[in-house]
Amino acid sequence: MSFFISDAMAQSAGGQSGGFDFTAILPLIIMFGIFYFLLIRPQQKKAKEHKTLVAALKKGDEIITNGGLLVKITDVGDNFLTCQIAKNVEVKLQSNAVATVLPKGTLKGL
């Protein structure tokens, strides 16, 4: 019987390692890097560009809203814009609803 016990002890002692296995974590680090460069970084860049676009809005700018309206800004507040849709028709929009700024004179050509 002692012959079987000594074999079992010899096998269990040689199978374990005491060090940190970096190769097990390496795929997770690579996946995080891929997600950062393909998803997170472009989204942060786009948000920064939109923030500078909204901060640069002034009275008289012509914009397109996220809803597709072409409007002219008549007043700029902290969080809201007063915009003219047609003659004597003004609406208030949230400044984050701006999709893009048009070149001057675009609304006259439409």
pTM of this structure: 0.69
pLDDT 10s digits, 58-108: 999 999 999 999 999 999 999 999 999 999 999 999 999 999 999 998 888
In this structure, what token pair is assigned to residue 102?
């048009």
**CA–CA distances in Å: residue 96 to residues 12, 14, 54, 92:** 64, 63, 7, 12
pLDDT 10s digits, 11-47: 555 555 557 788 889 999 999 999 999 999 999 999 9
Evaluate whether 101 touches 57 at the Cβ level (below 8 Å): yes
Q: Which of 36, 44, 106, 109 is nearest to 73 (CA)?
A: 106
Domains of the chain: 26-102 (2.30.30)
